[in-house]
Structure 1
């Protein structure tokens, strides 16, 4: 399934302003905002956090990469072009889990 089709199956994020990704100490590592160019990533990360109890685990990261579908190859070919995919690529290979905190609109 391609990314556009996957997005249609994920829950709406219209109620969110952003999602904060947190390290083990609760510090914000990154923020994905509900704005053009990030809404797809917001939907992916929010759905993963919902499925995995508010955490982005290595298993969640692996699933997220499946959802990003055709964009993963582009991210691998051009590191830095897709930072939200780059993050999942790294996290899928690790053992650490990261927190996700939703910010309501």
Structure 2
């Protein structure tokens, strides 16, 4: 399924201003705001966190599937899709990130 189709299957993020990813010491290492160009990533990360409790290797693998055609583009163009690059890093390193949602 295409990324746009996958997004339609995920819960709404209208109530969110952002999600923050936290390392194992509680420091914010990334933030994905609810703004044009980021809403797809926010939708995916919020759904993954709700289902898996964190962004861990299993969540990251599912995320790569949800990002669909953008995952191949990210693999071919490192740095072009930083939120997909982060999922690839989680898988390769075994890292996990806690997720904090910021209400709108």
| Band the TM-score falls in, shorter-chain normalisation | over 0.9
- Is 1:29 matched with 2:4? no
- Is 1:44 matched with 2:44? yes
Trace 1:90-105 onto structure 2 (pairs within 5 A).
90-105=89-104
After superposition, the CA RMSD in angstroms is 0.7
| Separation in 2, partners of 1:30, 1:78 | 20
User: 1:77: which partner in 2?
Assistant: 76
TM-score under structure 1 normalisation? Answer: 0.96
User: 1:86: which partner in 2?
Assistant: 85
Unaligned 5+ segments in structure 2 are: none
TM-score under structure 2 normalisation? Answer: 0.97
- Is 1:58 matched with 2:57? yes
User: 2:17: which partner in 1?
Assistant: 17
SS of the aligned residue for 1:56 comes to: coil
Alignment: residue pair count: 104
Unaligned 5+ segments in structure 1 are: none
Moved over 3 A (4+): none
